[in-house]
Amino acid sequence: MNPCQTFETLVEGYIKQLHIRKHNKALINQQLASDCLMVLTKPKNTTIFNPEFRRWVRKHFAFAAVGELRILMEE
C-alpha cells in the first residue's frame, strides 16, 4: 500500500467512526471553507445558507484579512 492509499484509508476510517451528522464537517474542503468565509464576511445576509449552518460557522470560525486574502481560522 503506498502512502496516499494509507492516508486515504486512515481518513475514511476516521470519518466512519464519527456520528453520521458529523461526516460532512469532519474535514474542511475548499467548498466548505469558501461557504464559511461567505457567512463570516457577509454577517447580515441571512439569505445565504440556513440558520443552523450560519450559527455553526460563527461558533467555530473567524477570519483574518491579509491584503486581499481572507484566511479561515478555527476559534
Q: Residue 7 is part of which domain span?
A: 3-74
Q: How many domains does the chain have?
A: 1
User: Which of the four pLDDT bands, split at 50, 70 and 90, describes residue 3?
Assistant: confident
Position 64 scores a pLDDT of 93
pLDDT digits over 16-75, tens only? 999 998 888 888 889 999 999 999 999 999 999 999 999 999 999 999 999 988 899 998
Burial class (CB in 10 A: 0-12, 13-18, 19+), 34: exposed
- Residue 75's pLDDT is 86
Q: Assign 3-state DSSP to the chain and report helix, strand, coil percentages, each to 5.
A: 55, 15, 30
Which amino acid appears at position 57 of this protein? V
Please tell me the pTM assigned to this model: 0.75
Instruction: Measure the CA–CA gap between 12 and 26, rounded to whole angstroms.
Output: 11
